[in-house]
Amino acid sequence: MSVISRIFGSKKEKLDLSLIEVDMHSHLIPGIDDGSKNMDETIALLAKFQSMGYRKVVTTPHIMSDYYPNTRDIILSGLHDVREMAAKLNLSIEIEAAAEYYFDETLPSKIKEKELLTFGGNHVLVEFAFQGSPTYEDELFFDMLSADYQPVLAHFERYGAFMGNVDKAAEYRDKGVLIQMNLNSLTGHYGPHIKKQAEQLIDKGLVDFVGTDCHRIQHLRLLEDNLHLPYFSKLTSHNLRNTHL
């Protein structure tokens, strides 16, 4: 395969995930959110990530006060256990942890106390409610940036308030917020409208990070089966920040 073909791909070729290198959005720590249920499942997921070409995963458990009241200690303790088991089983993939923070009433105090879990230095993954318009997000993003955190908005393409229009992603980026897109949005996993929204983000060059948002093995199998789709190849012409993590 020529260098040009390897970089840009074609409709008949599959995206080589080793070009992305790092997955920065997943739910792999067992038993603490709606992701992996137990250590066996976690190890199977890590082995699958490794076989698909990833060199590192940054897993991001939910922190959501009403449903998943996780803390730094809970997440880092879980990370320690996962790393220990992966090492025993000779998995070579690197494993780090941050969190996916829900924009709720507990977030401002976490920002103020500088207790957010980060990845890639100072990056913090945050999410809105999928339905309804977000409120006070500009203030929260400003507070994060003022505290030297780099906000990364998770799966922009899935928010109902922005459907059919990706201009808001450009506005957020102008304010210093980075945009993350779920890879399985391109497979149609979340529906055709979300697939179209993801494609528009790529067309307009508004994607900074991509992630699997993996909760279970079926997410990785679905991704693997669809890497021949043309928009996966288009991703490799973007300056994705995954490779710098």
Domain ranges of the chain: 17-244
CA atoms lying within 13 Å on the CB side of residue 98: 25
Euclidean distance between CA atoms 194 and 155, whole angstroms? 10
240 backbone dihedrals φ, ψ, rounded to 5°: -65, 140
How large a percentage of the chain has pLDDT more than 90?
91
Supply the mean pLDDT for the chain.
94
Euclidean distance between CA atoms 151 and 144, whole angstroms? 7
Euclidean distance between CA atoms 215 and 189, whole angstroms? 13
CATH topology of domain 17-244: TIM Barrel (3.20.20)
Q: What is the pTM of this model?
A: 0.94
Mean pLDDT to the nearest integer, 225-232: 97
Euclidean distance between CA atoms 194 and 162, whole angstroms? 10
Euclidean distance between CA atoms 9 and 6, whole angstroms? 6
User: Tens digit of pLDDT for each residue in 113-141?
Assistant: 999 999 999 999 999 999 998 989 999 99
